[in-house]
Structure 1
Amino acid sequence: MKILRIIPSMNPKQGGPCQGIRNSVPELERLGIENEVVCLDNPTEDYLGQDPFVINAIGESITPWGYNRNLIPWLMSNFNRFDAIIVHGLWLYHGHAAIKAILAFRKTNSTSPKVYAMPHGMLDPYFQKAKERRFKALRNELYWKLIEKRLVNQVDGVLFTCEEELLLARTTFGNYKPKREINVGYGIQPPPVYKVAMRKAFAQTVPQWNGKPYFIFLSRIHQKKGVDLLIKAYIKVEKELGSLPQLIIAGPGLENDYGKEMQALASASQNIMFPGMLSGDAKWGAFYESEAFVLPSHQENFGIAVVEALACAKPVLISDKVNIWREIVNENGGLVKNDTENETYQILKQWVLLGEDKQSEMANAAQGVYKNYFTIGQAALQFKNGINL
């Protein structure tokens, strides 16, 4: 069995979907499912050639829509090599190209691969309701009517990472009529075992670290992630209680306007640090040396970093807009509140006032959440069964 993944980019800085592919491929290979990727990347990019599976980089797109004239011809020439096609993400040319190509291919071929779309949270109603997204919401509404509903309703099935994502997708657009809705789950590879080199790498990357456990935010510095809520809440709790673990906000985006605003906002505290994007030993050191992971996101389809924290036995302090929040609450692997400034303040204060014994219990439970729900082995098997391979 062989799967083709269609995705705009395999750049690790793009986050979730490409990392999800990298997490799942080795386990799927063990189940006898070979994977290949086609993406709209420049083939000379240094992040290519590092993976144990084939990535066909057919050149950068030339428009914000992601148009690339090479994609449809490449698909038409290669469809017959695959049993299934997965389109990762929505709202860009690669999805339009995929459904256009497969319908044309089926006109002249008696057999063809099944085609699935995997939205990765992009059908979440948040994107149509957020005040700062009014223009984009209008654009998406028009795009849905003209183009995207064709993809979603004509593929053989739509794949979701969790039940919450599946249910939310039904509430966003009219004429949403997919042939099948399939919860294929999601998971991550086990984290590397802790080693002293991780602590050293992290310490070198964040020289302001005082050597004590801290709160770690590890994601893009973006408005959707609620970074402003976190900083304001942290400063308020710090003033109220006098002493708090340091707050380390790690991730790409510091050079953007929002990133600069967040750094200015955080200047009211000497205990908030922005080391930028972390990788390798420094990233895992950031998880292992922390006290708790925090993410007051306004929308999070799955949250790979959330699960990575759980796998490292770190409790997660998250909003209920992270779609896996129910599993975390059910297993006592963290604290969950709404995505407001006041409730972010409450979650930080509640954590501090729990005391060491309760915090330790929650840390043990956190790793249990990972083992019970989000191992890559469980996710790969659920994926295989979901698309009937």
Structure 2
Amino acid sequence: MKTVAKSLNVCHVVANINENSGGPAYSVTNLAQALSEQGIYPHLFTLDYQGHGKQVATKNVNLHSYTATKLAKYLRGFQPSAGYALQNLAAAELDLIHNHGLWMFPNIYARQAAVRNNLPLITSPRGMLESWSLRNSWFKKLPAWFLYERENLQKAIAFHATSQEEANSLRQLNFHQPIAVIPNGVSLPNLDTQPSREVLIRLFPQIADKKWLLFLSRIHPKKGLDNLLFVWKTLVKQFPDWHLLIAGSDLIGYQSKLEEITATLQLQSQVTFTGMLSGEQKASAFSNADLFILPTHSENFGIAIAESLAYGVPVITTKGAPWEDLETYNCGWWVEISQPDLTNALVQAMEMSERERQAMGVQGRNLVKAKYSWNAIAQDMSSVYQWILAGGEPPSCVQFYSA
């Protein structure tokens, strides 16, 4: 193992950072950027799936991006030339490899580069070891587990979990390595310079003069949107001044099924599918929403929840997401994964006055400011890297296995 350099060269490996692919594209790039201010020289290794939108922009990060071949697109990122490039980078420059995610060939390349160059490997599962995720497409994951994924995880010198729940999932799978529990970070927007409602109303006139219930995340069965639509059907007559906005990328064709449910329930005039929102449109959605909802079955963190709170919007989510803080800080509702519980939370939230919801939003923004700043998170991660490479007293965020 290499000795600690004055400025550590750490490579973050992630399957892709294309903007339509979901939370890790943003959380990994933001982490790498924040680490650049902590005496870390960050590299980022990834494939570019150009059909999934532009890559998330990076600043002060040495980006090693390889255009995904046709074979890579159909075979989970299989691109040996990129793997060789990562091995060469590891041999020449790196002190440590930080792998993000599972089940993709770039994650295998991260392990191979670390092992062949005697570098420490840290792995962030990014929610992919939660029980719901393991059950989803289990017939594909089971052979992958025995072929390569278990070995990938066994070779990690330590894990990074974004919540205690994710750390518990690692222990339940009988992994005994140290686990650093460090949440994702959030950038606090300036609420005085946000785009107006008109940005979205010009695109979707049907949402004018309505209060906005916003969902903004990937369109995927894991997110519980079918449950939300059935609940929404029972509430639209009681709350005719509200409109449900469903925003997000659809990489697997699931939105068409949700649109069928919407039509069957005769909700077309109360529900709008906006597609992927980014830039000014995304900021308009968050800054002008009256309430945010994520009725998810499983999240390791739930970056969209933190983003919503950063904009001062109260949140409803389920106990599939590790957000007990919503109740602790009185900035939202944290309910069981059931239609009756979602219904009760929505009724409470929508019956509140605008002033009461805004007060909850202020408390949510204060929570994000206190616990989820990128600067504090990068300090914790940097201390973990230094400890792994140089030893000494472990950081307070690191947990050890106890039988």
| Structure-2-length-normalised TM-score | 0.86
The answer to whether structure 1 residue 272 and structure 2 residue 268 are counterparts is: no
Alignment partner, residue 245 of structure 2:
248
Q: Secondary structure of 2:334's match?
A: strand
Contact 2:26 2:56 in 1 (8 A): no
Alignment partner, residue 258 of structure 1:
254
Residue-by-residue CA offset, 1:123-145 (whole Å, 9 max, x unaligned): 1111234xxx3xx2133233223
Partners in 1 of 2:148 and 2:275 — Cα distance? 37
Alignment partner, residue 12 of structure 1:
19
Paired AA for residue 48 in structure 2: D
Paired AA for residue 258 in structure 2: M
| Counterpart selection for 2:338 from 327, 336, 340 | 340
Q: Secondary structure of 1:274's match?
A: strand
Residue-by-residue CA offset, 1:176-224 (whole Å, 9 max, x unaligned): 3242211122111222444364433222232222144311000111111
Partners in 2 of 1:48 and 1:362 — Cα distance? 34
**Percent of aligned positions that are identical:** 23
Q: Structure 1 residues 256, 141: CA separation in 2 closer, same or farther (over 3 Å shift)? A: closer
Q: Give the superposition deviation at 1:22.
A: 2.4
The answer to whether structure 1 residue 368 and structure 2 residue 375 are counterparts is: no
Where does 1:195-344 land on structure 2 (aligned, <5 Å)?
195=193, 197-239=195-237, 241-253=238-250, 257-267=253-263, 268-269=266-267, 270-323=269-322, 325-344=323-342
Q: Give the superposition deviation at 1:32.
A: 2.0
Higher relative contact order (CA 8 A, sep 6+): 2
Partners in 1 of 2:182 and 2:233 — Cα distance? 40
Q: Give the superposition deviation at 1:380.
A: 1.2
Q: Structure 1 residues 70, 256: CA separation in 2 closer, same or farther (over 3 Å shift)? A: closer
Partners in 2 of 1:305 and 1:285 — Cα distance? 14
The answer to whether structure 1 residue 120 and structure 2 residue 119 are counterparts is: no
Q: Give the superposition deviation at 1:103.
A: 1.9
Contact 2:19 2:25 in 1 (8 A): yes
Q: Give the superposition deviation at 1:385.
A: 1.9
CA RMSD of aligned residues (A): 2.3
Partners in 2 of 1:8 and 1:303 — Cα distance? 19
Gaps of at least 5 residues in structure 1 are 107-112
- Which is worse superposed, 37-46 or 277-286? 37-46
Q: Secondary structure of 1:313's match?
A: coil
Residue-by-residue CA offset, 1:267-310 (whole Å, 9 max, x unaligned): 31212111111111111110111111001000111111111100
Residue-by-residue CA offset, 1:22-49 (whole Å, 9 max, x unaligned): 2223322222222111112269997359
The answer to whether structure 1 residue 38 and structure 2 residue 45 are counterparts is: yes
Q: Secondary structure of 2:78's match?
A: coil
Paired AA for residue 260 in structure 1: S
Q: Secondary structure of 2:222's match?
A: helix
| Structure-1-length-normalised TM-score | 0.89
Q: Aligned pair count?
A: 372
Alignment partner, residue 401 of structure 2:
none
Contact 1:233 1:348 in 2 (8 A): no
Partners in 2 of 1:349 and 1:193 — Cα distance? 27
Alignment partner, residue 81 of structure 1:
93
